[in-house]
Structure 1
């Protein structure tokens, strides 16, 4: 799967995106899960600032 993402980002239109990985704590168990998102580079700060 990683190869496919790398190949997609190497395309001409794919250079404006970043992969954001957030750790989210479950309120029930307290365990952490990771959420991955592909967002445009100019929106990375907005996405991370809205993380709870």
Structure 2
């Protein structure tokens, strides 16, 4: 499955996207988890502000 993602990101339209990885602290345990999402390059700052 990862090979498909890598292959589609190398196309001309795939260069318009960015992978955003955020560390989110759990209110219950206090442990950090990482959330990943693919967003268009022009919306990266908005995704980080959420």
Taking structure 1 as the reference length, the TM-score comes to 0.83
Show structure 2 runs of 5+ residues with no match.
none
User: What residue in structure 2 maps to residue 21 of structure 1?
Assistant: 21
Show structure 1 runs of 5+ residues with no match.
none
User: How big is the alpha-carbon RMSD for the aligned residues of Structure 1 and Structure 2?
Assistant: 1.0
Quick one: distance in 2 between partners of 1:19 and 1:4? 15
Query: How many residue pairs align between the two structures?
Result: 49
Q: Indicate the larger mover: 30-39 or 5-14.
A: 5-14
Runs of 4 or more, structure 1, over 4 Å off, are none
Taking structure 2 as the reference length, the TM-score comes to 0.86
